């Protein structure tokens, strides 16, 4: 691609003094240190091939002067940054120039004639690169910290127009060339207050940020972020974020975070009652708060310890509290919190809460209910108990109940008014006196219980008929001549009656033998009118005909009205050995397998083959069984039972 060439200027040769004029000749070059200086201007950003001065170029750098270019036979030689046309003396840029990288170039140009053997002229060329607006403003970060690159500080409550900080941007363009590096500042992201007014402003020329209103309050917000734009004269811009820290001034007295405190009465001495916290919006030494009690503690129940590190005042108990004393249920303490310059008085209302430290108490603790008959109806009132609990609230609420161990059959209950009533029928013969334990259990945590004793005596009614004193099993031996007195048991010849009712409803008893069955005709019963009777036989008995006789005995007590009952007396006929044996037989089959039909376990027969029948009853103790014949070799017979 053909490079566009732009002519910058021409170099002129200084003819040395004392030399004669010559005709028009070719010019050659050589070194000569008496120079004329030419300024050549090249615009920054020109492409390679731009025109500049012609002639030879000698560059003066930091390492000294050196020849960069020599023109030969109209040839254009390409150098590092520039080239020169030997005929026209035009100098061209080899690459795009950057003023911000190098604002000026300086080099020597010389010309010779006569093929280098003639006269020589020199030129000192200073090439200045003209600026264009190719760099946007930037905010350099000097030394970033945790708060950001650009941090300013301003005390709270500062008046309007207080200088906060300066935001300075840099522009690499030339400050002397037009407005490429002339910067103006503005805030593109401000902070507004509750009425939508900006909090900060900026000087457009200097970048100084100032307050707009006297409205900064560190206790509301201690850090603001403001975005600032810097714009140069060519329209390029850059932004930076300013961090504005609002510093504290001691403008707040301590404020209590809580007014009412609740404690329980069961705290031990020296225990923490409450922790008073006061918030001070200030910082550092301005926020160091101390606490003291200055009123409301006439009985010296409390003292306070100051925890400066945590801004707490720990109020501790000096003497025990008792909620049951009305004047110790609330304490309106005047607590003073003070810092270096201010103090605050607050009334801390300490409300003492009840703890469950009292069990319900019965008045009285022992009740003796009026005696009642055992036939009273269910629901009958037995007694009313009364209890009280000195605690309050849930701790003072209680309910009544009856301990299960004192009423195992559930015959009583108590309602929540303390009325003890009959829940089931009474039976004096089962329990003649009830000792009820009534409980009053509160709803505290843990619950506490008070007890009272209720004595209930049960009066007898004639609700039981007489009965045999003990179970009787009399034996009458067969073949005994009549009349025979029957021995009722091993220790007595008499039959005794008893009544579970008390004495007015008991004896004396009337005892009779009822002739209701044929068995009764064989006996006679004599009532001795002292609760006993004698039984005699009227004939001789044969056990092999009838083994026992059942006699209905009627017994009547002396109650009003009298109660009677009928009990059956069973008379067993005792056996005598009065019958000889008669032969008997039993046919049975035994199946064997390969000659084996008995199962032995440790030499004991385990298979029952048959029961041998006998004419005499098997239960006769005189029966003895044995086996004879060939079966004795393989079978065994139990002698008392006849099992084979």
Domain containing 210 — which CATH number?
A: 2.60.40.60
Together in a domain, 259 and 236? no
For residue 276, pLDDT over 80 is answered with no
**pLDDT for residue 376:** 94
Together in a domain, 495 and 454? no
Together in a domain, 262 and 279? yes
Q: Which of 447, 367, 363, 452 is nearest to 403 (CA)?
A: 452
Order of strands, sheet of 564-574, starting from the edge strand that comes earlier in the sequence: 475-477, 564-574, 548-556, 510-513
For residue 116, pLDDT over 80 is answered with no
**pLDDT for residue 184:** 92
Together in a domain, 278 and 339? yes
**pLDDT for residue 107:** 77
139 found inside a domain:
no
Q: For residues 344 and 354, what is the distance between their CA atoms, to the nearest angstrom?
A: 31
Residue 352's Cβ-side half-sphere holds a number of Cα atoms within 13 Å equal to 25
Q: In the beta sheet, which residues pair with residue 426?
A: none
The most confident of the ranges 155-164, 267-276, 517-526 is 517-526
Biggest alpha carbon distance in the chain? 204
29 found inside a domain:
no
Poorest-confidence range of 129-138, 171-180, 186-195, 255-264?
A: 255-264
Percent pLDDT > 90 in the chain is 31
141 found inside a domain:
no
**Length of the chain, in residues:** 644
**pLDDT for residue 512:** 94
Together in a domain, 156 and 81? no
Give per-residue pLDDT as tens, 234-243: 889 999 999 9
Residue 593's pLDDT band (cuts 50, 70, 90): low
Which of 416, 434, 459 is at the close of a domain?
Answer: 459
Higher pLDDT, 250 or 526: 526
Q: For residues 125 and 104, what is the distance between their CA atoms, to the nearest angstrom?
A: 10
Which of 353, 382, 417 is at the close of a domain?
Answer: 353
CB 398 within 8 A of CB 390: no
pTM for the full predicted model: 0.46
User: 3-class DSSP state for residue 331?
Assistant: strand
**pLDDT for residue 134:** 85
Which of 544, 574, 604 is at the close of a domain?
Answer: 574
446 found inside a domain:
yes
Together in a domain, 229 and 280? no
Give per-residue pLDDT as tens, 125-173: 888 888 888 888 999 887 777 677 889 888 888 888 899 999 999 888 8
**pLDDT for residue 623:** 66
The most confident of the ranges 140-149, 168-177, 274-283, 582-591 is 168-177
- Angle at alpha carbon of residue 166, lines to 163 and 169, rounded to 5°: 160
Together in a domain, 220 and 281? no
Together in a domain, 184 and 88? no
Give per-residue pLDDT as tens, 298-326: 888 898 888 877 777 888 889 888 888 88
**pLDDT for residue 613:** 53
Give per-residue pLDDT as tens, 28-85: 333 233 333 344 444 444 444 444 433 444 444 443 333 343 333 333 333 467 787 7
93 found inside a domain:
yes
Higher pLDDT, 614 or 35: 614
Higher pLDDT, 575 or 57: 575
> What mean pLDDT value characterizes the chain?
78
Q: Which residues of 271-298 are buried (b: 16+ CB within 10 A; e: fewer)?
A: eebbebbbebbbeeebbbbbbebeebbe
Please enumerate in sequence order all residues whose Cβ is within 8 A of that of 600, keeping only pairs 6 or more positions apart, or say none.
Answer: 606
Q: For residues 60 and 268, what is the distance between their CA atoms, to the nearest angstrom?
A: 96
Higher pLDDT, 195 or 282: 195
Give per-residue pLDDT as tens, 322-341: 888 888 888 888 888 887 77
CA dihedral 305, 308, 313, 315 (to 10 degrees): -20
**pLDDT for residue 252:** 58
Together in a domain, 388 and 310? no
For residue 103, pLDDT over 70 is answered with yes
Q: Which of 5, 30, 14 is nearest to 84 (CA)?
A: 5
Q: Which of 373, 291, 360, 301 is nearest to 330 (CA)?
A: 301
Higher pLDDT, 281 or 148: 148
User: 3-class DSSP state for residue 395?
Assistant: helix
Residue 555's pLDDT band (cuts 50, 70, 90): very high
Q: For residues 50 and 41, what is the distance between their CA atoms, to the nearest angstrom?
A: 11
Poorest-confidence range of 54-58, 473-477, 521-525?
A: 54-58
Residue 287's pLDDT band (cuts 50, 70, 90): low
Running DSSP on this structure, what letter comes out for residue 354? P
Give per-residue pLDDT as tens, 363-378: 999 999 999 999 999 9
SS3 content of the chain, % helix, strand, coil (to 5): 5, 40, 55
Running DSSP on this structure, what letter comes out for residue 84? E
**pLDDT for residue 347:** 76
Poorest-confidence range of 7-16, 171-180, 390-399, 583-592?
A: 7-16
For residue 523, pLDDT over 90 is answered with yes
Together in a domain, 373 and 343? no
A 10 A CB-CB count for 381 gives: 12
136 found inside a domain:
no
Residue 421's pLDDT band (cuts 50, 70, 90): very high
Higher pLDDT, 285 or 438: 438
**Number of domains comprising the chain:** 6
Poorest-confidence range of 54-63, 433-442, 479-488, 502-511?
A: 54-63
**pLDDT for residue 334:** 84
CA dihedral 432, 378, 452, 431 (to 10 degrees): 10
CB 24 within 8 A of CB 119: no
137 found inside a domain:
no
**pLDDT for residue 250:** 58
Q: Measured in whole angstroms, how far is the alpha carbon of residue 113 from the centre of its chain? A: 104
CB 213 within 8 A of CB 160: yes
For residue 293, pLDDT over 80 is answered with yes
CB 554 within 8 A of CB 511: yes
Q: Which of 461, 489, 476, 592 is nearest to 537 (CA)?
A: 476
Q: Which domain holds residue 398?
A: 361-459
Rounded average pLDDT over 10-25: 40
Running DSSP on this structure, what letter comes out for residue 557? -
Please enumerate in sequence order all residues whose Cβ is within 8 A of that of 188, keeping only pairs 6 or more positions apart, or say none.
Answer: 227, 228, 229, 239
Together in a domain, 429 and 372? yes
Together in a domain, 498 and 517? yes
């Amino acid at each position: 691609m053909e490079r566009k060439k732009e002519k910058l200027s021409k170099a002129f040769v200084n003819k040395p003094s004392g030399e004669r004029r010559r005709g028009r000749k070719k010019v050659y070059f050589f070194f000569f240190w008496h120079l004329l200086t030419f300024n050549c201007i090249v615009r920054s950003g020109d492409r390679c091939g731009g025109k500049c001065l012609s002639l030879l170029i000698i560059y003066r750098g930091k390492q000294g002067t050196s020849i960069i270019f020599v023109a030969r036979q109209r040839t254009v030689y390409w150098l590092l940054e520039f080239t020169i046309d030997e005929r026209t003396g035009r100098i061209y840029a080899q690459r795009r120039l950057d003023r911000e990288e190098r604002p000026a170039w300086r080099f020597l140009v010389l010309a010779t004639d006569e093929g280098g053997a003639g006269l020589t002229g020199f030129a000192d060329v200073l090439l200045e690169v003209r600026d264009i607006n190719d760099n946007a403003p930037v905010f350099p970060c000097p030394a970033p910290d945790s708060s950001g690159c650009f941090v300013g500080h301003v005390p709270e409550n500062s008046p309007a127009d207080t200088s906060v900080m300066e935001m300075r941007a840099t522009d690499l363009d030339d400050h002397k060339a037009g407005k490429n590096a002339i910067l103006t500042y503005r805030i593109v992201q401000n902070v507004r207050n509750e009425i939508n007014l900006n909090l900060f402003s900026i000087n457009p020329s200097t970048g100084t940020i100032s307050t707009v209103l006297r409205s900064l309050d560190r206790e509301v917000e201690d850090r603001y972020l403001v975005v600032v734009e810097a714009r140069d004269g060519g329209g390029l811009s850059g932004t930076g974020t300013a961090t504005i820290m609002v510093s504290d001034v001691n403008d707040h007295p301590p404020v209590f975070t809580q007014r009412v405190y609740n404690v329980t009465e069961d705290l031990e001495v020296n225990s923490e009652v409450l922790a008073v916290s006061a918030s001070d919006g200030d910082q550092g030494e301005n926020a160091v708060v101390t606490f003291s009690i200055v009123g409301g503690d006439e009985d010296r129940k409390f003292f306070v310890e100051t925890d400066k590190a945590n801004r707490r005042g720990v109020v501790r108990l000096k003497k025990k509290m008792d909620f049951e004393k009305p004047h110790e249920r609330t304490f309106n303490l005047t607590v003073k919190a003070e810092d270096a310059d201010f103090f605050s008085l607050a009334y801390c209302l300490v409300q003492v809460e009840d703890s469950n430290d009292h069990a319900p108490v019965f008045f009285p603790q022992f009740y003796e209910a009026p005696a009642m008959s055992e036939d009273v109806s269910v629901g009958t009132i037995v007694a009313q108990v009364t209890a009280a609990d000195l605690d309050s609230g849930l701790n003072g609420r209680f309910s009544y109940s009856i301990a299960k161990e004192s009423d195992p059959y559930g015959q009583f209950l108590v309602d929540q008014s303390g009325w003890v009533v009959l829940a089931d029928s009474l039976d004096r013969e089962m329990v003649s006196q009830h000792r009820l334990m009534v409980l009053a259990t509160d709803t505290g945590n843990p619950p506490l219980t008070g007890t009272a004793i209720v004595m209930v005596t049960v009066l007898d009614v004639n609700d039981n008929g007489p009965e045999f004193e003990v179970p009787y099993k009399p034996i009458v031996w067969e073949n005994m001549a009549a009349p025979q007195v029957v021995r009722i048991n091993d220790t007595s010849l008499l039959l005794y009656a008893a009544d579970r009712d008390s004495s007015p409803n008991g004896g004396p008893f009337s005892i009779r033998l009822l002739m209701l069955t044929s068995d009764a005709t064989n006996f006679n019963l004599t009532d001795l009118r002292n609760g006993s009777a004698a039984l005699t036989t009227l004939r001789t008995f044969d056990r092999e005909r009838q083994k026992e006789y059942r006699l209905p005995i009627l017994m009547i007590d002396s109650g009003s009205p009298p109660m009677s009952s009928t009990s059956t007396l069973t008379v067993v006929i005792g056996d005598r050995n009065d019958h000889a044996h008669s032969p008997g037989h039993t046919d049975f089959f035994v199946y064997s397998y390969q000659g084996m039909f008995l199962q032995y376990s440790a030499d004991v027969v385990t298979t029952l083959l048959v029961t041998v029948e006998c004419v005499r009853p098997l239960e006769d103790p005189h029966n003895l069984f044995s086996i004879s014949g060939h079966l004795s070799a393989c079978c065994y017979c139990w002698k008392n039972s006849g099992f084979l």
